[in-house]
Amino acid sequence: MTQTRLAKTQEALNPAALSVPCAPEDKAPDNETLTLEQQRQLRVYLEQGLPLSPRPYQEIAARLNTSEAAVISQINYWQQQSLIRRLGLVVKHRQLGYCANAMVVWDIEDQDVDRIAGQLSARGEVSLCYQRPRRLPHWSYNLFCMIHGKNKEAVLRQIEVLTRELELNHIKKDVLFSYKAFKQQGARYSQRKPGNDRA
């Protein structure tokens, strides 16, 4: 696919152009303690990170004008509902020396996806494994795995061993190493304003 150099329009450079309309508010989930707005705020705080001070939940409770117990109980409820997948340290792997981050993409017959994905997921070196749609003709891969390592050669060797041991040599695949992180931050689901609020 050939592409011509982009026209760098004034519009694209104008931050106001980045805003898009807001969606209507979600329906209320069951909760007896915090108001919807307090729940929304709490999610923002949890996405931004707990205060690094002795009573973090108390601090958040004070900001929300509620009790520490209500905050803890709400987080506990979300954990039970699996809305929160995990609570803890979110580290930047690159900063810890895990610089070789490979996305391995496979073109697997639909009926074999579950079986092969199961085998790939069981390997310790695979941290994520997802099925995604093909977008033909440009994108024919439907299974994605992430493998993080300290250097590219080691990761390529791991992929080679894994491919051989699982007998996947006949399957078309591609390995996409990242070479620059332009952005890495926690997801901000609770952000209500879809525009760009940093400019």
Partner 1 sequence: MNLSLLQQQLINHWQKDFPLISSPYAQLAKELGSSEAEVLEALKALEQADILSRLGAVFDHKKAGASTLAALMVPEEDLEYVADIVNKFEQVNHNYAREHDYNLWFVVTAADDFILQRVLARIEQLTGLTVLVLPMEKAFHIDLSFQIDFDSKQPLARVN
- φ/ψ of 147, rounded to 5, equals -130, 125
CB of 34 to partner 1, least distance (A): 15
Q: Is 61 exposed, middle or buried (0-12, 13-18, 19+ CB in 10 A)?
A: buried
Residues 117-146 close enough to bind partner 1 by CB under 8 A = 117-118, 120-121, 126-133, 135, 138-139, 144
Among 36, 62, 96, 154, binds partner 1 (CB under 8 A): 96
How far is 196 from 181, CA to CA, in rounded Å? 19
**Considering only residues 20, 36, 62, 161, which one is a binding residue for partner 1 as defined by CB under 8 A?**
20
Nearest residue to 106 via CA among 28, 32, 166, 47: 166
Site for partner 1 in 52-91 (CB under 8 A): 52-58, 68, 72, 75-76, 78-79, 81-91
Nearer to partner 1, 78 or 159 (CB): 78
Could you give the CA distance from residue 138 to residue 41 in angstroms, rounded to a whole number? 41
The CB-of-132 to partner 1 minimum distance in angstroms stands at: 4
